């Protein structure tokens, strides 16, 4: 996918997965690519239709949670494109965990019982539910690895005031509760996720994607308790299976490590998992759509004119 030049464009940022354009200073245009990252490293091959699946799940979830917190999203001019309001971001990610899994489990295995200031009880097994969800924030790095951080350090470093932290944490927990209910209605468990927030003036807005397989981890509710009792691996819909494959092949993003080769079969398997999550979570058949750069550009221009962002 090429880098575009839009009328009124005032900024451009190429993220790990998204190409982000600033239009007329106050608008953001996010194009979800088919790139995939893990351990903060962009993997060498793209995943067919991943961008579309992510973007459409995010749009659905933002619409389903806008009564809890205003969000940046305005419209989706194309299946892999979102248009919305530009916010001044908090440089933290609000990670909410309902289950002991992923990074939390790897920390737990090291014998640690405190993560980002949140306590984790003794005698828990991988994937067990926490008594109540915990928040384990991380810094939002412009590049490189995000770092765990505590509430106290966030306030001390001026990343958020005490009042802002309280608002962010309350909102993140409310969003997680809504996410769990939406997932449960589709036979899934939302195990953990992350939220990003920003401000327009003094008002807090929810930003970026939410409840997608890149930002969240889902377990199948069916047989979850039985698998936990028997110590069996939980079936999940998330990007964790990609991380696990990388770990098995001796890659965790550390200096000097080489990304393992991704075969056509593996790339297609990842694509199918993203589509499976979309269909399971949204309850609709996934309709893959491929637009040439020219058609994508025209769709975006049409929407920018419709919204009155650029002149006709």
How do residues 205-241 score in pLDDT, each as one tens digit?
Answer: 999 999 998 889 999 999 999 999 999 999 887 787 8
Q: What is the pLDDT of residues 232-288, one digit of tens each?
A: 999 887 787 898 899 999 999 899 999 999 999 999 999 998 998 899 999 999 999
Q: Report the candidate in 42, 56, 93 with the shortest Cα–Cα distance to residue 274.
A: 56
How far is 278 from 271, CA to CA, in rounded Å? 11
Which DSSP string corresponds to 237-258?
Answer: EESHHHHHHHHHTT-SS-TT--
Q: What pTM, to 2 d.p., does this model score?
A: 0.90
**What's 182's DSSP letter?**
H
Task: Summarize pLDDT for 96-144 with one digit per residue, the tens.
Answer: 999 999 899 999 999 999 999 999 999 999 999 999 999 999 997 655 5
Q: Which of 198, 175, 197, 207 is nearest to 30 (CA)?
A: 207
Calpha distance 179→189 (Å, rounded): 9
- 238 Cβ contact list (under 8 Å, min separation 6): 191, 213, 216, 217, 218, 277
Confidence of residue 159 (pLDDT cuts 50, 70, 90): very high
Cross-strand bridge partners of residue 197: 206
Q: Which residue has the higher pLDDT, 3 or 69?
A: 69
Percentage of the chain modeled with pLDDT above 90: 85
State whether CATH 3.30.470.20 applies to domain 89-242: yes
Q: Determine the average pLDDT of the residues in 169-185.
A: 97
Which pLDDT band, with edges at 50, 70 and 90, does 145 fall under? low
- The pLDDT confidence band at residue 180, using thresholds 50, 70 and 90, is very high
Give the position of tokens 């002991």: 100
Q: Domain map of the chain by residue range?
A: 89-242
Lowest mean per-residue pLDDT among 12-21, 93-102, 146-155, 230-239: 230-239
């Amino acid at each position: 996918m090429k880098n575009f030049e839009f009328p009124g464009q005032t900024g451009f940022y190429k993220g790990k997965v998204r190409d982000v354009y600033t239009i007329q200073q106050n608008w953001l245009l996010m194009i979800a690519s088919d790139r995939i990252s893990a351990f903060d490293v962009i993997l060498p091959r793209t995943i067919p239709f991943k961008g579309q699946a992510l973007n459409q799940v995010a749009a659905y979830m933002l619409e389903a949670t806008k009564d809890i917190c205003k969000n940046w999203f305005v419209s989706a001019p194309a299946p892999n494109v979102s248009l919305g309001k530009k916010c001044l971001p908090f440089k933290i990610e609000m990670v909410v965990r309902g289950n002991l899994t992923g990074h939390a489990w790897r920390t737990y295995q090291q014998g640690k019982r405190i993560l980002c200031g949140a306590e984790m009880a003794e005698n828990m097994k991988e994937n067990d539910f926490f008594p109540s969800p915990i928040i384990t924030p991380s810094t939002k790095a412009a590049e490189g690895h995000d770092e765990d951080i505590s509430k106290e350090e966030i306030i001390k470093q001026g990343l958020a005031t005490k009042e802002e932290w309280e608002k962010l944490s309350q909102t993140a927990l409310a969003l997680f509760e809504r996410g769990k209910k939406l997932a449960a209605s589709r036979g899934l468990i939302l195990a953990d996720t992350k939220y990003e927030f920003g401000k327009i003036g003094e008002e807090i807005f929810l930003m970026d994607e939410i409840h997608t397989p890149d930002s969240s981890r889902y377990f199948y509710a069916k047989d979850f308790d039985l698998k936990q009792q028997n110590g069996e691996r939980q079936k999940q819909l998330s990007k964790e299976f990609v991380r696990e494959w990388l770990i098995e092949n001796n890659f965790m993003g550390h200096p000097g490590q080489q990304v393992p080769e991704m075969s056509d079969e593996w790339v297609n398997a990842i694509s199918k998992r993203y589509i499976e999550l979309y269909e399971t979570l949204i309850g609709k058949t996934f309709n893959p759509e491929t637009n040439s750069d020219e058609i994508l550009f025209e769709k975006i221009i049409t929407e920018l004119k419709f919204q009155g962002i650029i002149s006709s």
